[in-house]
Amino acid sequence: MASDWERLDRIHIRDLSLRCIIGVYDEERREKQDVVINITLYGDLRKACESDDVADTVDYKTLKKKVIALVEQSSCRLIEHLAEQIAQVCLSDSRVVRAVVCVDKPAALRFARSVAVEIVRAQPTAG
């Protein structure tokens, strides 16, 4: 039987490549570094599917702009903290009942392509 989350529709924002100050060490905080962000937004999109009207859905272009503004101005020490801030931006739209945010930091570890943190957050009433 499908869970409540599996029955919800999804919007994916994939491979949003941005630069920001991120890291705990002094050398990491001197210049902006690359981060790659993936976001999955869960909600009921049936009204938009029927109406074909952007007013009936999550405006992912507007959301992307908010995420870009947040990330490019951020100065987080941890990618966990950055992911949390992004999730809160996503949940500021009440039509988003759940957000999955994955922040990759390429070349964070020697011999590894990247390090990533993925978090799942939901509206307080969504459980």
Q: Which of 47, 41, 78 is nearest to 61 (CA)?
A: 41
Known catalytic membership, residue 47: no
Sheet (strand 114-122) strand order: 75-76, 9-22, 33-43, 98-106, 114-122
* Single-letter amino acid code for the residue at 101: V
- Please give the Cα distance from 70 to 68 (Å, whole number): 5
* Catalytic site residue from 47, 61, 65, 105: 105
Catalytic positions, written as ranges: 105
